[in-house]
Structure 1
Amino acid sequence: MTFIDPSSSAEQLEDDKLKSSRRSSSSEDRQWGYDLYPQRRKKSTETHGITSLLDTKGQENISKIKCERTIYKCIKQSPIIKLMMGALKSSGCPVDIRRHISCEECAPTVSGGYDPILNQVVICQNSVHKIGHIQSVLLHEMIHMFDYCRHDLNFKNLDHLACTEIRAANLAHCSFLSAWTQGDVSVFNIKQAHGDCVKSKALSSILATRDVSTTEAIDAIERVFPKCYSDLEPIGRRIRRNSDDMFKAYTEGYYYGYDSS
């Protein structure tokens, strides 16, 4: 927190704020993962040469348009995304896709993110292109948005972060096939394969966006795992690959008061 002398001039106040912002920007960026999403902190005064604009900015704009079109298609056609839109609306947090979802250039290590300050889902236009992948990223980040809306989630609290990452992995990613691919399952541990996959995915998400040790992240996951793993809201079931679970979840959302209009 910055303390300001009330007798200071307006110009001095603004200068102090700017200096304070610059001093804290590195740690704040790391805390919120903004170093992974460079457009979150890009300066509008940035200048480019003609060649740069043609070769880089032009390509970036094409990627952005394609990304936005695919997101729109997901929202209109995907039953699981329509369910999340309805659940957020019914929870008092309606999603305006022009305001709350943004296609951006990101670090190559991530495919999406959730910005709690702007309440905005980020889809990495340089990393995800296929509709299935974008649907998966949208679902993951919208679960974070739902948790932030319903439970006053504090992303600076490692236990809170671990919980929402567990829920996102549980509901959006892990299946028997994905667990096998990640090496989290064998013929001897099929029963616990899904839980192991969820822990592995949650751990990788935490380590990718927060400056904490592996031990700290694992401890947080283990502390909250039983409660957060069993919380299936708002989907109500784990989505199995190549199943009709998404359609069932969407149909059942009506019974829980989720607005599907």
Structure 2
Amino acid sequence: MDQPKEAATSAPAAAAPTPVVSDGPKKELFNDPARTGFDPEMKWWMNYFRILSGGMTNEGKFHYREWRYKVHEERDCRRCEENRNWLFTHSPVVRFLSEKIGDLNGDLNKDNVMCRRCPARLTEDGQVHRQSGGFSPDHGILLCANEIRDRKHMEDTLAHEMVHAWDHLRWKVDWMGDKDLKHAACTEIRASMLSGECRWTRETFTRGQWNLTQQFQHCVRRRAIQSVMARPRCKDEEQATKVVNQVWESCFSDTRPFDEVYR
């Protein structure tokens, strides 16, 4: 359902709290100026100077980034809405998917494709958890205004979530995996495959993945596993990988509602 962004930053060992070994969910880290060097009570340029002078840890930089997103929330959402409206008017893939969703008695418009700021989370293992979009059968599509880099990134994100919407109308997907995680695995494979987010240029120049063979397949599989892992019913990466592998052949070959993979 959620489309994860592949970014993970580890704070220096000396600056981070002692990791807690646990099989359960990792605890979220909240800012402590004495530990991180980021102080929200200070002017932005003073915090920025701390970054430039090495006076802020990676954890502090994360909290600074989130703080600035709050400041620019209105600007980011306005730009997001402008790009969303443009894509619904001019993007071939968005218009095609919108038409196919309409054929299944669905309707996506500015009231249920919403631009919002999406706070990221930093956990005690140093992992940053963020997303660029999401789909909910009850509420529609979420576009994360602060995480989307440009119009092309939004087009990929919107196409990804629209594939989820089409799948839900067509098959009534078990999104949370309450009965079977295979539903989630299949729709994530299809969304990553059909949205364009795994094209060679995106993988190479944006994510730094320089695979020369089967790059597309590796990307789709990796991102599907990451998305399945985000489901509450998924225990770990091993289970997510197993489920994705179980449905891979049938779902990777299913390009509906497209005739083939175009992007």
Interval of TM-score (by shorter of Structure 1 and Structure 2)? 0.5 to 0.7
For 1:165, the aligned partner's letter is E
For 1:69, the aligned partner's letter is E
User: CA–CA distance in 2 between the matches of 1:164 and 1:184?
Assistant: 25
* Contact 2:87-2:94 at 8 Å conserved across structures: yes
* Contact 2:69-2:146 at 8 Å conserved across structures: no
* Contact 1:67-1:129 at 8 Å conserved across structures: no
Q: 2:54 is matched with which residue?
A: none
User: CA–CA distance in 1 between the matches of 2:188 and 2:99?
Assistant: 21
| 1:201 is the counterpart of 2:227 | no
Q: 1:175 is matched with which residue?
A: 199
Alignment TM-score, normalising by the size of structure 1? 0.63
TM-aligned CA deviation for residue 117 of structure 1: 2.8
Q: Kindly tell me: are residues 128 and 167 of structure 1, through their superposed partners in 2, closer, same or farther at Cα, counting changes over 3 Å?
A: same
- Displaced runs of 4+ in structure 1, greater than 6 A? 55-58
Q: 2:163 is matched with which residue?
A: 143
Q: Kindly tell me: are residues 227 and 145 of structure 1, through their superposed partners in 2, closer, same or farther at Cα, counting changes over 3 Å?
A: same
User: CA–CA distance in 2 between the matches of 1:71 and 1:106?
Assistant: 16
| 1:111 is the counterpart of 2:132 | yes
SS in structure 2 opposite 1:97? coil
* Contact 1:162-1:202 at 8 Å conserved across structures: yes
For 2:215, the aligned partner's letter is A
User: CA–CA distance in 1 between the matches of 2:262 and 2:164?
Assistant: 17
TM-aligned CA deviation for residue 203 of structure 1: 1.3
TM-aligned CA deviation for residue 197 of structure 1: 1.8
For 2:79, the aligned partner's letter is K
Per-residue deviation, residues 70-119 of structure 1 (Å, max 9, x unmatched): 10001101000000100000111122322x2011111331111111232x
TM-aligned CA deviation for residue 60 of structure 1: 1.9
Query: How many matched pairs?
Result: 181
Q: 2:97 is matched with which residue?
A: 84
SS in structure 2 opposite 1:227? helix
User: CA–CA distance in 2 between the matches of 1:227 and 1:85?
Assistant: 24
Instruction: Decide which of 109, 117, 120 is 1:96's aligned counterpart.
Output: 109
Q: Kindly tell me: are residues 239 and 213 of structure 1, through their superposed partners in 2, closer, same or farther at Cα, counting changes over 3 Å?
A: same
User: CA–CA distance in 1 between the matches of 2:144 and 2:176?
Assistant: 23
* Contact 1:182-1:197 at 8 Å conserved across structures: no
Q: 2:260 is matched with which residue?
A: 237
Q: Kindly tell me: are residues 56 and 214 of structure 1, through their superposed partners in 2, closer, same or farther at Cα, counting changes over 3 Å?
A: closer
For 1:230, the aligned partner's letter is S
SS in structure 1 opposite 2:215? helix
TM-aligned CA deviation for residue 205 of structure 1: 2.2
User: CA–CA distance in 1 between the matches of 2:222 and 2:184?
Assistant: 14
TM-aligned CA deviation for residue 66 of structure 1: 1.4
TM-aligned CA deviation for residue 62 of structure 1: 2.4
Q: 1:47 is matched with which residue?
A: none
Per-residue deviation, residues 36-74 of structure 1 (Å, max 9, x unmatched): xxxxxxxxxxxxxxxxxxx98773222222111110001
Structure 1 vs Structure 2: percent identity of aligned residues?
25
SS in structure 2 opposite 1:122? strand
SS in structure 1 opposite 2:72? helix
* Contact 1:162-1:224 at 8 Å conserved across structures: yes
* Contact 2:174-2:184 at 8 Å conserved across structures: yes
* Contact 2:176-2:231 at 8 Å conserved across structures: no
TM-aligned CA deviation for residue 184 of structure 1: 6.8
TM-aligned CA deviation for residue 208 of structure 1: 4.0
User: CA–CA distance in 1 between the matches of 2:142 and 2:134?
Assistant: 5
Q: 1:163 is matched with which residue?
A: 186
TM-aligned CA deviation for residue 143 of structure 1: 0.5
Q: 2:82 is matched with which residue?
A: 69
Give structure 2 stretches of 5+ with no counterpart: 1-27, 29-67, 121-129
* Contact 1:91-1:150 at 8 Å conserved across structures: yes
User: CA–CA distance in 2 between the matches of 1:81 and 1:143?
Assistant: 10
User: CA–CA distance in 1 between the matches of 2:82 and 2:70?
Assistant: 18
Q: Kindly tell me: are residues 215 and 65 of structure 1, through their superposed partners in 2, closer, same or farther at Cα, counting changes over 3 Å?
A: same
User: CA–CA distance in 1 between the matches of 2:215 and 2:146?
Assistant: 31
